[in-house]
């Protein structure tokens, strides 16, 4: 049988390419093993010294100093306290963004870990504790480790990596801009122009060693609303002498829930309306003149989002009118739907499967939680996935939820996050279209 020189050459090139990719994957795994103790040490330090949004001064300095020590170009003060590191590989290729959020939450920690936070500060005029109750400390430690590994692999690296350390994911203080939207506004996706962004979030109800993902809408849009009900004050013993805004507010809360339970097509997508704060009155026998309520709306479909907003406005004003009161409602868009580009997910899913093992990567249901990573996904193709942070064998229903004083994550999960980010960078560069950047 006559040999085909062209076919032999193709097979040889394929073999060499696969061998090179396997060598890179092995090098990443070895480096991740080696840096794991440092990853954990960084995370514990950030956990013990948490900072709220737009106030991540200590955190950002540690990040910037580390990136500079690796010979990475550093930009500070992007979006208030954000840090951007730019690592240029030796070979031409795409510009890949990797994002980690840095901020903590206004909570008093109850965990018994030796590095638990004791930090106190003032938030919106109240004295509060400060706690990393969502895992952002681990995100920072993971991305710092990824930067160290990739900086040591410059010669094999195609293109450029932008390390995006973002402040205020949980929202900036009242009256301030912040978060992903502000970083984008200040040019984080430009100079050089970013082609794609990857992000991860550790999850306290997913086992260590596992990754969960979803194509298209993965997390909900988050809107915050404020309702002010204006009544007429009276003595508590004579409610007929006034218009009770407390009772009207209770009726409005009930009415808002029927928007979800009776007026929204929930077979299409999930939606949530939650009233979370009610303020009104100063004394047990005085009917107040005004009650204020604030809360959140979560939607996974933009048309449904618009419809719910309109129904809320009508429900609030008409219920108030029926009692002789008046009410106004303002709705503020906080985050967009976190949208995972379907083409990118399909292209990069094999990378995650090879990293974690195919059986450890699974499809997830959409979440009504929100993420301001969504602003990156609105500008460039993006892929946001979830990393296991729960002790294997534990019942996920018994783990403390995110944003609670008892929130806890297993540090054994960090290494997979480091490997996943590193492999996504190399694997995307190998399958990306013809590079526009160098």
Catalytic residue positions? Answer: 103, 169
Peptide bond into 325 cis (omega under 30): no
Q: Are 216 and 339 in contact (CB under 8 A)?
A: yes
Strand partners for 217? 339
* Residue corresponding to tokens 């870990």: 113
Q: How far apart are CA 189 and CA 179, in angstroms?
A: 14
Q: How far apart are CA 147 and CA 421, in angstroms?
A: 10
Q: How far apart are CA 356 and CA 402, in angstroms?
A: 24
Q: How far is CA 281 from CA 230, 235, 274, 286, 287, in A?
A: 12, 12, 21, 7, 7
Pairing verdict, β 221-230 and 91-101: unpaired
Token pair of 344 as six digits? 């990118």
* Residue corresponding to tokens 């949004």: 53
Q: Determine the Cα angle at 47 with ends 41 and 51, to 5°.
A: 130
Cβ neighbours of residue 392 under 8 Å, at least 6 residues apart?
207, 208, 209
User: What are 43-47's contacts with CB under 8 Å, separation 24+?
Assistant: 43/137, 43/138, 43/140, 43/141, 43/411, 43/414, 44/115, 45/115, 46/132, 46/137, 46/140, 46/141, 47/113, 47/115, 47/116, 47/117, 47/132, 47/137
Q: How far is CA 438 from CA 163, 194, 417, in A?
A: 16, 12, 26
């Amino acid at each position: 049988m006559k040999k085909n020189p062209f076919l032999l050459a193709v097979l040889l090139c394929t073999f060499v390419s696969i061998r090179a990719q396997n060598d890179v994957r092995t090098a990443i795994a070895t480096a991740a093993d080696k840096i794991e103790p440092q990853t954990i040490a960084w995370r514990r330090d950030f956990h013990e010294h948490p900072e709220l949004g737009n106030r991540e001064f200590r955190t950002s300095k540690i990040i910037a100093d580390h990136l500079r020590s690796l010979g990475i170009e550093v930009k500070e003060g992007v979006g208030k306290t954000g840090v951007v590191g730019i690592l240029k590989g030796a070979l031409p290729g795409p510009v890949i963004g990797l994002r980690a959020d840095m901020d903590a939450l206004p909570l008093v920690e109850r965990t018994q870990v030796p590095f638990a936070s004791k930090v106190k500060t003032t938030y919106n005029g109240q004295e509060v504790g400060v706690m990393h109750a969502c895992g952002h400390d681990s995100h920072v430690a993971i991305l710092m480790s990824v930067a160290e590994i990739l900086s040591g692999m410059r010669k094999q690296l195609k293109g450029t990596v932008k390390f995006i350390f973002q402040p205020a994911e949980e929202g900036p203080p009242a009256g301030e801009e912040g978060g992903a939207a502000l970083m984008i506004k200040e040019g984080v996706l430009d100079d050089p122009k970013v082609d794609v962004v990857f992000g991860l979030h550790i999850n306290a109800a997913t086992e260590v060693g596992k990754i969960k993902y979803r194509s298209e809408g993965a997390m909900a849009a988050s809107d915050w609303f404020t309702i002010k009900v204006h009544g007429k004050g009276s003595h508590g013993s004579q409610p007929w002498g006034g218009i009770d805004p407390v009772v009207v507010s209770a009726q409005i809360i009930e009415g808002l829930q029927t928007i979800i339970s009776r007026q929204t097509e929930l077979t299409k997508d999930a939606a949530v309306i939650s009233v979370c704060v009610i303020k009104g009155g100063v004394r047990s026998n005085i009917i107040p003149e005004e009650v204020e309520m604030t809360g959140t709306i979560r939607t996974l479909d933009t048309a449904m989002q618009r419809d719910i907003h309109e129904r809320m406005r009508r429900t609030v004003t008409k219920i108030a009118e029926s009692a002789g009161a008046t009410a106004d409602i303002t709705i503020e868009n906080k985050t967009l739907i976190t949208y995972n580009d379907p083409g990118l997910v399909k292209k990069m899913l094999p990378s995650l499967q090879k990293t974690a093992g195919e059986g450890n990567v699974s499809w997830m249901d959409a979440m009504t939680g929100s993420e301001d990573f969504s602003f990156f996904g609105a500008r460039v193709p993006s892929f946001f996935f979830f990393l296991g942070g729960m002790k294997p064998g534990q019942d996920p229903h018994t783990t403390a939820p995110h944003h609670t004083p008892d929130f806890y994550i297993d540090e054994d999960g960090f290494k997979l996050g480091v490997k996943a980010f590193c492999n996504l960078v190399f694997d995307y560069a190998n399958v990306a279209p013809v590079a526009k950047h160098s």
